[in-house]
Amino acid sequence: MPQKFVPAIVIARLPLYLRTLGFLAREDKRVTSSQELAERLGLTPAQIRKDLSYFGEFGKQGTGYDIAFLEKQLRQILKIDRVWEVFLVGVGDLGRALAHYRGFQENGFRLIALFDNAPSKIGTSIGAIAIQDVKEMPRVVREKKLQIAILAVPADAAQSVADELVRAGVRAILNYAPVTLNVPPKVKVYSIEPVAGLQGMTYYL
């Protein structure tokens, strides 16, 4: 049976639902509703019900959603009911901040390798992880069968590094470089550009 098409915007909202369910669980709540989720997320109840309907029926009319059950289901849908090993390329100011970020580990992602091309950084460590020469990256990626990369290199180097990542077998790139990456359709790229975000906001000021 062919896999049901799910719009990318729906997939992008699922982590927001999961995060909100986590907040509710920490408030000792056991049941929620599409209305409550909508109020917390600035969406409509109908939108939330439609998004979840792509994956099945998780709640009952009049009783709402069991928070623990829906959390578990969303983790399975997003494939984060396991720990994913990830690596970081580019250990400048931003890269170092990302390497110190504890949220990855707490949410199912374990940072296991760091790469840079600066001789002054190679061989030094951040926590228990040694920074390796970026030339070693393809070998390490293939040997450890890594699929997820975090890219925090300058814009002028981003595409060439992305090409190396693709050749090594990486299938997902979290891109912090302020440039649009050209990759094959099988490789997913999610870009985070703080300056572009700020520029989008200043339109409304």
For residue range 35-94, what is the model confidence (pLDDT) as tens digits?
A: 999 999 999 999 999 999 999 888 666 678 999 999 999 999 999 999 999 999 999 999
SS3 percent helix, strand, coil of the chain, rounded to 5, is: 45, 20, 35
Higher pLDDT, 194 or 134: 134
158: pLDDT strictly greater than 90: yes
Q: Which domains does the chain have, with CATH numbers?
A: 8-77 (1.10.10.10), 84-198 (3.40.50.720)
Among residues of the chain, what percentage have pLDDT more than 90? 88
Beta-sheet pairing, 64-66 with 31-32: antiparallel
Q: What is the pLDDT of residue 62?
A: 67
Asked if residues 153 and 127 have their Cβ atoms less than 8 Å apart, the reply is no
Q: How many residues does the chain have?
A: 205
pLDDT band at 4 (very low <50, low <70, confident <90, very high): confident
Nearest to 124 by CA among 150, 146, 95: 95
Provide the whole-model pTM. Answer: 0.88
Coil, helix or strand for 61?
coil
Q: What is the pLDDT of residue 3?
A: 62
Residue pLDDT, tens place only, 79-103: 999 999 999 999 999 999 999 998 9
Q: What is the pLDDT of residue 1?
A: 41
Mean pLDDT for 4-9 is 89
